[in-house]
Amino acid sequence: MPTDRQSSNDPITPPSLYFNRRGILNAGIALGSVAATASAYRWFNPVTNVNHNAGTVVATNDAEESEEQRLAKGWLVREDKTAEKYILNYNNFYEFTTQKEAVAAAAANFKTEGWEIVVDGLVSKPATLTIEDLHNISEPQERVYRMRCVEAWSMVIPWVGVPLSHVLEAVEPTSNAKYVAFETLLDPERMPGQRTRALEWPYVEGLRLDEAMNPLTLLATGIYGKSMPPQDGAPVRLVTPWKYGFKGIKSIVRITLVAEEPPTSWNRFAPHEYGFYANVNPAVDHPRWSQATEQRIGESGRRKTLLFNGYGDQVADLYQGMDLRKFY
């Protein structure tokens, strides 16, 4: 999310240019054999348990559920999944570096053993949860979602994770809880980008409580059946597929139920460019670029951007009567 034209993240730089570089191609080849093993495993074991330590997070989807049902809920899209090499090598994660193609290397040694998430604020049962606790609250499910960055590139990502609603139900929000605030780890030793002033640290995000409770909203702990890679927000990050990618806060350490709209990192940085809602909307342009179309990573040509990123059936009700130009 650049605010100056010199940034390596400038939205006018065609993402395809990055992928012709040797390093990315090599990384793709190295990952190939791992990916093949993981998908073979899923093929023979469609319903199984979680083994996070072994680096896998296997989704336990309802075997009774048809593809049609999953499509109707928005849990699956009828579009090609983005290749894993792109998901793993084209990232925004300013805690490590602002250069998308360098995040994977910069984050490679990020240690997440013993990770805990504090869930507190306006709740009856505050809790400190490990990743295992999350998986015990709710069995991980696979969700194949579109992901649209405000910089006008997009992917289709097979996440594995736990609906946020199940976690919030477990802590019992009180009646005055109206919003949910999220916070990324603050540790400049482990996240060297936090020694720069690229953003104010820690990265913070927020949702209205009804958005947080929507069945699409996921706490993701894996991608392509493997535990969350560092560059994508290990060990747990938020996914709200109808919103711009920056709402998907990575490496979460705290979730706090609050009464007022919480501050959010990009809104703080440039309030006229990035709003609290950040719903994908082709009719509301960013002040410095159009949101009408997008570059699907790995495709040539551009696609039309869809209102709510194509999830209107699932989320349009949340915004009934709201002026989406005002609440951008």
Ligand X SMILES: Nc1nc2c(c(=O)[nH]1)N[C@H]1C(S)=C(S)[C@@H](COP(=O)(O)O)O[C@H]1N2
Chain residues binding Mo ion by CB under 5 A are 92, 149, 245-246
Binding part of the chain for ligand X, among 26-34, 43-51, 241-249, 295-303 by CB under 6 A, reads 241-249
Q: In this structure, what DSSP letter does residue 31 have?
A: H
Q: Which residue is nearest to ligand X (CB)?
A: 245
Q: Which residues pair with 219 in a beta bridge?
A: 162, 238
| Closest by CA position to 185, among listed 134, 135, 114, 126 | 114
Query: Which stretches of the chain are DSSP H helices?
Result: 22-44, 67-73, 84-87, 103-107, 131-137, 164-171, 209-213, 265-269, 312-315
Residue (184 or 267) nearer to ligand X, CB: 184
Q: Which of residues 160-189 bind ligand X (CB under 6 A)?
A: 184
Tell how far CA 104 is from the center of its chain. Answer: 16
Nearer to Mo ion, 57 or 244 (CB): 244
Between 198 and 292, CB nearer to ligand X: 198
Report the residue from 61, 82, 89, 91 that binds ligand X according to the rule CB under 6 A: 91
Pick the binder of ligand X from 143, 243, 250, 296 (CB under 6 A): 250
Sole binder of ligand X in the list 75, 145, 159, 246 (CB under 6 A): 246
Q: Minimum CB separation from Mo ion for residue 230, in Å? A: 17
Residue 152 region by backbone torsions, left for phi larger than 0, else alpha for psi between -120 and 50, else beta = left
CA distance 57 to 62: 16
Residue 74 is a binding residue for ligand X (CB under 6 A): no
Nearer to ligand X, 232 or 294 (CB): 232
Q: Among 110, 145, 203, 242, which residue interacts with ligand X (rule: CB under 6 A)?
A: 203
Instruction: Give the whole-angstrom CA distance, residue 242 versus residue 216.
Output: 9
Contact flag: residue 92 with ligand X (CB under 6 A): yes
297-303 CB contacts, 8 Å cutoff, 24+ apart: 297/15, 297/16, 297/82, 297/86, 297/90, 297/153, 297/154, 297/155, 298/19, 298/80, 298/82, 298/83, 298/86, 298/155, 300/16, 303/154
Residue from 95, 101, 142, 183 binding ligand X (CB under 6 A): 95
User: Which is closer to ligand X, CB of 121 or CB of 248?
Assistant: 248
| Shortest Cβ 95–ligand X spacing (Å) | 5
In terms of C-beta density within 10 A (0-12 exposed, 13-18 middle, 19 or more buried), how is residue 173 classed?
Answer: buried
Cα separation of 42 and 45, whole Å? 5
Nearer to ligand X, 184 or 295 (CB): 184
Query: For residues 212 and 178, is the Cβ–Cβ distance under 8 A?
Result: no
Site string for ligand X, 267-306 (x = CB under 6 A): ----------------------------------------
Total residues interacting with ligand X, rule: CB under 6 A: 17
Pairing of strands 153-163, 293-296: parallel
Q: Residue 248 binds which entry of ligand X, Mo ion, none, with Cβ cut-offs from 5 to 8 Å by kind?
A: ligand X
CA atoms within 13 A on the CB side of 122: 14
When the beta carbons of 18 and 93 are compared against ligand X, the nearer one is: 93
Could you tell me which residues come within 8 angstroms of residue 105 by beta carbon, excluding any fewer than 6 positions away? none
Our finding on whether 248 is near ligand X (CB under 6 A) is yes
Q: Is 1 in the site for ligand X (CB under 6 A)?
A: yes
Q: Which DSSP state fits 308?
A: G
Candidate list 18, 19, 94, 276; residue touching ligand X; CB under 6 A? 94
**Interacting residues toward ligand X by CB under 6 A:** 1, 91-95, 149, 184, 203, 232-233, 245-246, 248-251
